[in-house]
Structure 1
Amino acid sequence: MAPRNWLCHREALLSALTRETSEKAFDLKLYLVTNSDKLSEEEFLSQVEGALKGGVTFCQLREKDKTDEEVLALGKKVKELTDFYGVPLVIDDRVQVAKALDCAGVHLGAMDDDLEEARKVLGPGKIIGATAKTVAVALAAKAKGADYLGVGAIYPTKTKVITKRTEVATLNAISLEAKLPIVAIGGLKEGNLEILKGSRAQGIAVVSELMEADDPGAKAGRLVKKVTDLLR
């Protein structure tokens, strides 16, 4: 029979985990958006794991050119890594894939599936992120059940999605009006983060800065430190 104090500890831990899940607690400080272009699967998973080990706090599997079946297969392997490091995993756009993986949730861009429909599919306990460039879009996303907002592009990006610059003042206005956690996105790198100093962002989302890093773990560690200093 397990010692009484161990059972008490277990009950307290389970209670804390249940409470944290119900509140959908998550940390957007360093948000990795994946990109497997030009990488073998082994190289891709190595980059992701290195970044997770270095301090990534949130991960989005974003593979625009893969089929649902391919994203599902890759997602199972990524989820093994994110689960191991205790990092929430969301899937870009593919609500049914997110449901099949039973991962933390989904991120929906302006042209992706409707937020309300995603909530019906995934249920109240999952995280749904949305992209917003204006206060009006942010408020609409909140009304439909978004849990956090990706705001940008702060700088032009190399991704395949057409981006339009978003001023930090707009990001701050969105935060004040929508009152949701904000992750700044778009072209952010270790050397250009000063633009966010004193802003209302809770963190940064990066793609190439980690997916193309020679040492993603070291890079992630430096990014976490810098973001922590800038967004006190």
Structure 2
Amino acid sequence: MNPATYGTYLVTQASVSAGRETTEIVEAAVDGGIDVVQLREKATDARWRYDLGLEVRELTAEAGVDLIVNDRVDIAQAIDADGVHLGQSDLPVAVARDLLGPEVVIGCSASTVDEATRAEADGADYLGVGSVYGTTSKDVEADRAGVGPERIADISTAVSIPVVGIGGITAENAGPVVDAGAVGVAVVSEITAAEDPCAATDSLAAAVETAKAVGDTPPHDG
């Protein structure tokens, strides 16, 4: 449970999975080398998400992949997830930390430096920053516009906890997000809506690793 290793991060959403089960998508992503899975599933009731969470927990636990639950601290506890991811309108990070204890991973969404530094001070273990390139997965004007890799750089400089970029990210544009300071990228459609989610995960992971390798290469003195 080390968010610094969250290079590829799948956020589940059955409504964009082309009629496939979320467990099918997760299993394919695991086979493709995903590092962490977030059970999101907006617009579903608690019981449905709990039952699905138990199935996903079994898949991720067997593979040694972290499982994070979006928003719901109670469901995270109930299915023994590795962590929870909170938005700005969810329970405060500090409250979730008191409920969950020191060992559980807590992530927090942030789109500004102020939100990011406050989340870190309150005990967040990592930040989900975006929407980087804009996205249609949430009906929010700011999400559609995108904050750009520049915001990743601003926030990564301001905090000491890992930053994961999210929003409109693909294998083709993941590199600048990592170059800006993110440890990895979180995606919904890039994997969930892909014809081959396993291959899509593999491509995304390769793009992230390539960007990291380039960033770690020392300058050539010529």
Shift of the 229–133 alpha-carbon distance from structure 1 to 2, 3 Å rule, reads: same
Shift of the alpha carbon at 1:49? 0.4
* Contact 2:175/2:208, CA 8 A, preserved across alignment: no
Sequence identity of aligned pairs in percent?
A: 39
User: Is contact 2:7–2:184 with CA below 8 Å preserved after alignment?
Assistant: yes
Q: Is the 8 A contact 2:85 2:106 kept in 1?
A: yes
Q: Pairwise CA RMSD of aligned residues?
A: 1.7
Equivalent of 1:90 in 48, 68, 72: 68
- Shift of the alpha carbon at 1:71? 0.8
Note if contact 1:110-1:132 (Cα within 8 Å) is conserved in structure 2.
yes
For the 8 Å contact 1:203–1:227, the answer to whether it is kept is yes
Matched, 1:229 2:207: no
Residue ranges of structure 2 left out of the alignment (5+ in a row): 214-222
Deviations 1:131-188 (A, max 9, x none): 1111111110011100000111111112134115213222112111111101010000
> What's the CA shift string for 1:51-79, capped at 9, x where partnerless?
11101001100011011111111100011
Q: 2:160 matched to 1:206? A: no
Structure 1 residue 179 and structure 2 residue 160: aligned? yes
Alignment partner of 1:75 out of 42, 53, 60: 53
Partner residue of 2:2 out of 19, 25, 28: 25
Correspondence for 1:155 among 111, 124, 133: 133
Per-residue deviation at 1:43? 2.7
The structure-2 alpha-carbon separation of the partners of 1:42 and 1:166, relative to structure 1 and needing over 3 Å to count, comes to: closer
Aligned residue type for 2:168: G
**TM-score normalised per structure 2:** 0.89
User: Which deviates the most, 40-49 or 95-104?
Assistant: 40-49
Once the two structures are superposed, the pairs formed by residues 64-143 of structure 1 within 5 Å of their partners are 64-143=42-121
Deviations 1:24-57, CA, capped at 9 Å, x for gaps:
4242100000001165986321111001110100
Cα deviation for residue 197 of structure 1 reads 5.5
Deviation at 1:219, TM superposition (A): 1.2
Corresponding position: 1:45 with 2:26: no
1:226 partner amino acid: A
Distance, in Å, in 2 between the alignment partners of 1:180 and 1:29 is 14
Return 75-84 or 151-160, whichever deviates more: 151-160
Secondary structure at the aligned position of 2:106 is classed as strand
TM-score normalized by the length of structure 1: 0.85
Structure 2 letter corresponding to 1:123: G
CA distance in 2, matches of 1:137, 1:147: 14
Larger Rg: 1
Name the CA distance, whole Å, in 1 between partners of 2:92 and 2:127. 15
Q: Hey, what does 2:217 align to over in structure 1?
A: none
Q: Is the 8 A contact 1:99 1:121 kept in 2?
A: no
The CA deviation at 1:203 is 0.3
